[in-house]
Chain A
């Protein structure tokens, strides 16, 4: 016993490290049933205590309830896909007045329900009811357009039902193109086309969704088409004076080297994704150089922006799969729209990577990027949400990022961000 004590006294650090390892392992074992339940562990190469460390990184602890965590993550998705709206799609597409009437009723019911429930996720319901209103008012609107006064008739229903009419009903400005029927697809020139890329066959299927996955455009609510749309046109750089750019490190680079005008704002963080954009502290930076940390939530609730550009999607490439990405992207746009109802929202397609990367990396390749760009491009509605794709400015004929523009095949050189700005100036929406 005395010898053992003497022996242990000689190795205090070894002893401390062994004991702390054992302690962490015990914590990990204890948390396996609860907080760490959903973590995968390869015991051949990873010690069980790495669960604790990974947990700290993810803010998950042994006592964290994994079901609640998941529920929080899934919540917006569940709220997003009410069965009614899916059922309503077919009749709407056929353009029959009767079924539109049915939808309206369904929509109103839903509004009531969600108001009773007091849920945070009111938006789909609100949109539904609003859409119902607008189809009722369809005739009046058309008449008014013929007379050249679009705004007057819209004010009336607002007075009649001020609670149900959201504030974000857009005015149909001089650049809007009005059609007689509700669109079933956006005409050319409303969004920029998704730039294709050569498939080198290295993309892991884990991160993709089946090729027959359909990303339907809603027939009602925020993402639905209207009987009018805007076309992309070119503008000068004053256009961005009240714009906000949200994104990852690429947007960070753009904020510094994009040479944007002084009142333009950026909010970004390295490794930012659609999954974390609302939960992390980000860098908020004005083009005049001032920058500080803040959350997107805070920035959106204390400022008003005319245009909001979103550039996310690279850091999500390693998270399965495209459908989940699409769903989350949809949630993010819904939430941004709720907070900034008058802003134009631009979904910027993910910039492609270089051929070197695309032909060898099972995650960071253009095959997955194009698939995901295609999916989120369907979120554009042609009147306040648009998809733009700057890859036409920076890619070769195989859709690979030109090697001279980037050292890592992912980020543009500082000197090349002008291409991005030029593209945005050529692909803007004027309302």
Chain B
């Protein structure tokens, strides 16, 4: 049920919860949201919901103790005390995240509570927003708990800020137009995930199955793009579903992706990719470290710290650290060495994005470093020796996958998506969205109805 693209969520949890939520008076909506979210989370994670509840309670309490009306004059002692509390809270939250990550890596991956990377980051931002006087009113327990646990965002973000959420009592009304727009985003996201990401991802599965040493160079590149598209449309689709659900609950749409593949460079790509995470690192790590204000060396070291942390946040195995490092280096090179070229040669930045970003995703995808090395020797076949390679493999795959690749490229062009959103109220769009919805549901149903059908050999 914790998957939005499941029959149970779409036809059981979502309609029941939404109806209850809509008829609940505004002042009780946070309570319903908190309760529903806990049910949602517990249905998938069982007892690990206790970690979420404990972290929620502790963060609320520290936040309440540290609350002080913004703009008030404070004594030195009070300032020091608030600093201590804030640091203690951040340290505690970070420790929870690190401990569970290590536990999952060392013992069993099932010990990692679902979405902990996301809700812990929300908690840290909450503590620092209180400390930095960024909240106007003191949040009540239910405001806080609903914010931390809200089901649209609990599993994969977006990492919304408390202020963006209008959690205070009677601050949130749900209008029919909002519900309709939210539903449009939900259906678009569902289609993206089920019809595009899940299906183009099968190509990557096939490549893994065949073994990296047995793929031709064109197939290796196709694989890199297939994985990149899978990741993009899975995550963007998921974010659209989350944003849409949020709108149906009366929140404003939280944008997590802004056409990254139309970016003018690597740094720009990451201002558009998983925006809420990027802005979180900017606001709570990079700028407090000094950002780019204290000279070139400090900027370089700050960027490297941010990107190493970003790598570790995505996963604890070495390839994620390597991925973060590579991106850090690329962004530094872009900023200090190649800036002139990127600024003066049109489209160069976008071309660089389309070549380099898929390569970085390969590092992201392959956790085993030796296998990663093999994959790169297939991408660049100048060194290394091949095993049994069937040279025509990419032609076979292209025959099957060209419609998905075409659709993916089209959706990377901002105008395509913007057009869909602009025409969403037309009769034609309603028909298309309805068809997309039911085909997606058909796929969801046939992969879930029988457990064994999910595995096809």
Q: Are B180 and A12 in contact (CB under 8 A)?
A: yes
**Minimum Cβ distance to chain B for residue A207 (Å):** 9
Q: Does B357 contact A (CB under 8 A)?
A: no
Binding site for B on A (CB under 8 A): 7, 10-14, 16-17, 20-21, 44-47, 49-50, 53-54, 56-57, 248-250, 253, 256-257, 259, 270-271, 289, 291, 314-315, 317-319, 363-364, 406-408, 410-411, 413-418
With A13-B434, A49-B11, A256-B393: A315-B211 Cβ-Cβ less than 8 Å: no
With A14-B179, A49-B11, A413-B210: A318-B390 Cβ-Cβ less than 8 Å: no
Q: Does B441 contact A (CB under 8 A)?
A: yes
Q: Please report the C-alpha to C-alpha distance between residue A363 and residue B1 in the assembled complex, in whole angstroms.
A: 23
**Minimum Cβ distance to chain B for residue A126 (Å):** 35
Apart from A13-B424, A14-B183, what 18 extra A-B contacts exist at CB < 8 Å?
Answer: A12-B425, A13-B187, A14-B179, A17-B183, A45-B1, A56-B442, A57-B446, A249-B457, A250-B457, A257-B210, A257-B214, A270-B457, A271-B453, A314-B457, A317-B452, A363-B451, A413-B213, A414-B210
Q: Are A50 and B433 in contact (CB under 8 A)?
A: no
Docked complex: B379-438 residues within 8 A CB-CB of A: 387-390, 392-393, 396, 424-425, 427, 430, 433-434, 437-438
Which B-chain residue is minimally distant from A407 (CB atoms)? Answer: B208
Which single member of A10, A253, A256, A364 contacts B177 (CB below 8 Å)? A10
Q: Please report the C-alpha to C-alpha distance between residue A50 and residue B450 in the assembled complex, in whole angstroms.
A: 12
- Inter-chain contacts of A253 with B (CB < 8 A): 209-210
- Inter-chain contacts of B387 with A (CB < 8 A): 414-415
Q: Does B445 contact A (CB under 8 A)?
A: yes
Q: Are B445 and A417 in contact (CB under 8 A)?
A: no
Q: Are A46 and B8 in contact (CB under 8 A)?
A: yes
Which A-chain residue is minimally distant from B433 (CB atoms)? Answer: A13
Q: Please report the C-alpha to C-alpha distance between residue A270 and residue B456 in the assembled complex, in whole angstroms.
A: 6
Closest 5 CB pairs of A and B: A318-B452, A414-B214, A413-B211, A271-B456, A415-B387
**Minimum Cβ distance to chain A for residue B69 (Å):** 40
Q: Does B33 contact A (CB under 8 A)?
A: no
- Inter-chain contacts of B213 with A (CB < 8 A): 413-415
- Inter-chain contacts of A317 with B (CB < 8 A): 452
Which single member of B179, B396, B424 contacts A11 (CB below 8 Å)? B179
- Inter-chain contacts of B179 with A (CB < 8 A): 11, 14
**What are 18 A-B residue pairs whose CB atoms fall within 8 Å in the complex?**
A10-B180, A11-B179, A12-B180, A13-B183, A17-B187, A17-B434, A20-B434, A45-B12, A46-B8, A47-B12, A53-B446, A56-B442, A289-B392, A407-B208, A407-B209, A414-B210, A414-B213, A414-B214
Q: Please report the C-alpha to C-alpha distance between residue A314 and residue B452 in the assembled complex, in whole angstroms.
A: 10
Chain B interface, number of residues (Cβ within 8 angstroms): 46
Q: Please report the C-alpha to C-alpha distance between residue A259 and residue B177 in the assembled complex, in whole angstroms.
A: 61
The residue among A17, A289, A410 with the most chain B CB atoms within 10 A of its own CB is A17
Q: Please report the C-alpha to C-alpha distance between residue A315 and residue B457 in the assembled complex, in whole angstroms.
A: 6
**Minimum Cβ distance to chain B for residue A351 (Å):** 10
**Minimum Cβ distance to chain B for residue A406 (Å):** 8
**Minimum Cβ distance to chain A for residue B427 (Å):** 8
Q: Are B452 and A363 in contact (CB under 8 A)?
A: yes
Which single member of B187, B388, B424, B450 contacts A415 (CB below 8 Å)? B388
Q: Please report the C-alpha to C-alpha distance between residue A108 and residue B278 in the assembled complex, in whole angstroms.
A: 82
Q: Are A318 and B210 in contact (CB under 8 A)?
A: no
Q: Are B11 and A259 in contact (CB under 8 A)?
A: no
- Inter-chain contacts of B203 with A (CB < 8 A): none
Q: Please report the C-alpha to C-alpha distance between residue A56 and residue B442 in the assembled complex, in whole angstroms.
A: 9
Q: Please report the C-alpha to C-alpha distance between residue A20 and residue B442 in the assembled complex, in whole angstroms.
A: 13
- Inter-chain contacts of A44 with B (CB < 8 A): 12
Q: Please report the C-alpha to C-alpha distance between residue A310 and residue B210 in the assembled complex, in whole angstroms.
A: 21
Contact mask for chain B residues 180-202; partner A; CB cutoff 8 A; 1 contact, 0 none: 10011001000000000000000
Q: Are B8 and A45 in contact (CB under 8 A)?
A: yes
Q: Are A315 and B209 in contact (CB under 8 A)?
A: no
Q: Please report the C-alpha to C-alpha distance between residue A255 and residue B452 in the assembled complex, in whole angstroms.
A: 25
Which single member of A11, A53, A363 contacts B445 (CB below 8 Å)? A53
Q: Are B176 and A414 in contact (CB under 8 A)?
A: no
Q: Are B392 and A410 in contact (CB under 8 A)?
A: no
With A16-B434, A259-B388: A47-B457 Cβ-Cβ less than 8 Å: no
**Minimum Cβ distance to chain A for residue B260 (Å):** 27
Q: Are A14 and B456 in contact (CB under 8 A)?
A: no
**Minimum Cβ distance to chain A for residue B239 (Å):** 19
Contact mask for chain B residues 200-229; partner A; CB cutoff 8 A; 1 contact, 0 none: 000000001111011100000000000000
With A53-B442, A250-B457: A318-B180 Cβ-Cβ less than 8 Å: no
The residue among A314, A318, A418 with the most chain B CB atoms within 10 A of its own CB is A318
The residue among A13, A57, A363, A416 with the most chain B CB atoms within 10 A of its own CB is A13
Q: Does B455 contact A (CB under 8 A)?
A: yes
Q: Please report the C-alpha to C-alpha distance between residue A57 and residue B427 in the assembled complex, in whole angstroms.
A: 29
Q: Does B449 contact A (CB under 8 A)?
A: yes
**Minimum Cβ distance to chain B for residue A422 (Å):** 13
Q: Are B11 and A414 in contact (CB under 8 A)?
A: no
Q: Please report the C-alpha to C-alpha distance between residue A310 and residue B433 in the assembled complex, in whole angstroms.
A: 44
Q: Please report the C-alpha to C-alpha distance between residue A47 and residue B442 in the assembled complex, in whole angstroms.
A: 12
Q: Are B176 and A10 in contact (CB under 8 A)?
A: yes
- Inter-chain contacts of B11 with A (CB < 8 A): 21, 46-47, 49-50
**Minimum Cβ distance to chain A for residue B77 (Å):** 56
The residue among B179, B396, B455 with the most chain A CB atoms within 10 A of its own CB is B455
Q: Please report the C-alpha to C-alpha distance between residue A319 and residue B215 in the assembled complex, in whole angstroms.
A: 33
With A289-B392, A407-B209: A415-B456 Cβ-Cβ less than 8 Å: no
Q: Please report the C-alpha to C-alpha distance between residue A67 and residue B390 in the assembled complex, in whole angstroms.
A: 47
Q: Are A411 and B209 in contact (CB under 8 A)?
A: yes
Which single member of B12, B214, B452 contacts A319 (CB below 8 Å)? B452
- Inter-chain contacts of B390 with A (CB < 8 A): 256-257, 414
Q: Please report the C-alpha to C-alpha distance between residue A364 and residue B451 in the assembled complex, in whole angstroms.
A: 12
Q: Does B39 contact A (CB under 8 A)?
A: no
Q: Does B104 contact A (CB under 8 A)?
A: no
**Minimum Cβ distance to chain A for residue B197 (Å):** 19
Q: Please report the C-alpha to C-alpha distance between residue A415 and residue B392 in the assembled complex, in whole angstroms.
A: 16
- Inter-chain contacts of B87 with A (CB < 8 A): none
- Inter-chain contacts of A410 with B (CB < 8 A): 457
Which B-chain residue is minimally distant from A285 (CB atoms)? Answer: B396
Which A-chain residue is minimally distant from B425 (CB atoms)? Answer: A12
- Inter-chain contacts of B441 with A (CB < 8 A): 53
**Minimum Cβ distance to chain B for residue A38 (Å):** 13
- Inter-chain contacts of B430 with A (CB < 8 A): 12-13, 16
- Inter-chain contacts of B105 with A (CB < 8 A): none
Q: Does B7 contact A (CB under 8 A)?
A: yes
